[in-house]
Amino acid sequence: MTLAIQGLTKAYGGLHVVNDVRFEVPSGALVGVIGPNGAGKSTLFSLITGFLAADAGDVSFEGRSLGRASPMERARAGMVRTFQVPREFSHLTVRENLLAAAPGQSGERLIDTFFRPGRVKAEEAAIAREAAETIDFLRLAKVADVPAGRLSGGQKKLVELGRALMTGARMILLDEPFAGVNPVLIEELSVRIRELNGRGIGFLIIEHDLAALNKLVSTLHVMDRGVLIASGAPAEVLGNPRVRDAYLGGAAA
């Protein structure tokens, strides 16, 4: 089991935003999380990745309990998230955004920058090739050298995904990766995500575009008001009356 979510709970005041959520993501799986607005999906991601401290529950990744590990430690352990509202490095170009994400760069140490420029340069060249591939892969070549702050919302989402890929993570948590991305590219992205998944990267994806998500994932988890209300194969889950109620209730409110 790659990722095990064990009773995560988070309350603000008296309101349980995430309430005893538990499920598992097998290694190399493609899993979706859905639910109406405010269901607690993004909060769940923050709990999993350590950006928020859980009131109760734990997360284990590749057999190791993460307890109170920091977001940095969790990312370095191989589990990386993206953000619903893109957090691009706005003054860096798209390419630089991706380069910054590459792990273990000796050039990020001042000593090496000044005293081992050869090594830094060689590493940088290798990372640059990887970044160029990722940029092509995400169809960002046209804006590769534009400051990321000037991109459209959809393009920024692609930059977030690109950075996550550059980290070499084995488990990637995507918070609404398709929001603002054009339908043609969504199709393509889905193909590429499946391809990456074929290479062993697990994905946990929050998405409101159910049509696109259903084609992608093998398992869906549905949240409503902090609680996990259904889990299973997409067709089965979407036929569940409780799930329909949750969505309609959300729309009526």
Partner 1 sequence: MDAYLIAIAIITAIYVLLALGLNLQYGLTGIVNFGHVGFFCVGAYTTAILSEHGVPLVVSFPLAAVLAMAFAWPLGLVSIRLREDYFAIVSLGFSEVVRLVATSERWLTNGVQGIAGIPKLFAGWLTGPAQSYAVLGLLVAFNALAILAMLRIVRSPFGRMIEAIRDNEEAVKALGKDPAGFKIQVLVLGAALAGLAGAVYAHYIGYISPEQFLPLITFQIWMAIIMGGVGRISGALVGAGILMLFLEGSRFLRDVMPFISEVSMASVRLGVVGLALILFTMYRPQGLMGDFTRK
- b (16+ CB within 10 A) / e for 188-222: ebbebbeebbeeebbbbbbbebeebbbebbebbbb
Closest CB 42 distance from Mg ion, rounded Å: 3
Q: Does residue 84 touch Mg ion according to CB under 5 A?
A: yes
Where in 179-238 is the site for partner 1 (CB under 8 A)?
A: none
Candidate residues 35, 78, 86, 202; the one interacting with ligand ATP per rule CB under 6 A: 35
Give the nearest distance from C-beta 34 to ligand ATP in angstroms: 9
- What minimum distance in Å lies between the beta carbon of 208 and Mg ion? 9
How wide is the angle at C-alpha 172 spanned by C-alphas 190 and 189, nearest 5°?
Answer: 15
Closer residue to partner 1, CB minimum distance, 153 or 198: 153
CA-to-CA distance for 205 and 174, rounded, in angstroms? 5
Neighbours of 91 (CB within 10 A): 10
The enclosing H or E element of 21 equals strand 15-25
Closest among 246, 178, 180, 245 to 215, alpha carbons compared = 178
Residue 49 has φ and ψ, to the nearest 5°, of -95, 5
Choice from 2, 8, 32, 41 touching ligand ATP (CB under 6 A): 41
Q: Which of 3, 31, 39, 135 binds ligand ATP (CB under 6 A)?
A: 39
Rule CB under 6 A: say whether 14 interacts with ligand ATP.
Answer: no
Q: Does 174 bind partner 1 (CB under 8 A)?
A: no
Q: Which residues bind ligand ATP (CB under 6 A)?
A: 12, 17, 35, 37-43, 84
